[in-house]
Structure 1
Amino acid sequence: MNPLVIVFLVLLVLSGIGLIIFILMHSGKGTGISDMIASSMYSTQTGTSIIEKNLDRITIGCAVVFLLSLLVLMIVYPHGTISQ
């Protein structure tokens, strides 16, 4: 296996795990139980918008890395060549 392919596989796995974690960290927009619990922990006026913006940026960055590494791996390993 090419070392460059290993790097892109590691980037794919890490960015996928990062996407799962950062998407789950976003606050809910509904009025359910999770919103009631979260509203008691912090107020929306105390700087959470900055935290949400940074979390959005990190999530978008992980998504871009995930998609780019996926595209590179699709080009390097066309359909049916990974089993050789």
Structure 2
Amino acid sequence: MTLALQIILVITSVLMTVFVLLHKGKGGGLSSLFGGGVQSNLSGSTVVEKNLDRYTVVMGIIWITCIIALNLLQAFGA
């Protein structure tokens, strides 16, 4: 159980890092390398950005849940 949670934690950490770096910032960031900088700034938030937001939030929830579960397993010695 602990090993599975640790693996999930590492995978979600890497995915969250990638998702955060793909977000469109003021300067474009890494998203401009993959074609995100071509879009106009006047168009607002795109469907891709909204989906990226959702994926980032889901990864964050899974990440926090794994941290809490690992801490509880360590505290209660299961």
TM-score by length of 1: 0.71
Identity of aligned residues (%): 24
Closer/same/farther in 2, CA of residues 13 and 24 from structure 1, 3 Å limit: same
Question: What one-letter code is carried by the residue in structure 2 that aligns with 1:8?
Answer: L
Q: CA deviation at 1:42?
A: 2.1
Number of residues of Structure 1 aligned to a counterpart in Structure 2: 70
Give SS of 1:77's match: helix
Instruction: Give yes or no for the alignment of 1:77 onto 2:64.
Output: no
Cα deviation code 1:16-62 (max 9, x no counterpart): 1111000000001x2x4x47xx47522343x9610000000000010
List structure 1 runs of 4+ shifted beyond 6 angstroms.
none
Aligned position for 2:22 = 25
- Gap regions ≥5 residues in structure 2: none
Equivalent position to 1:14, from 11, 14, 18: 11
Give SS of 2:46's match: helix
Bigger Cα Rg: 1
Backbone CA RMSD of aligned residues: 2.4
1:6, 1:61 → 2: CA distance? 21
- Gap regions ≥5 residues in structure 1: none
Closer/same/farther in 2, CA of residues 8 and 40 from structure 1, 3 Å limit: closer
Q: By percentage of residues, which structure has more helix?
A: 2
Equivalent position to 2:60, from 59, 63, 74: 63
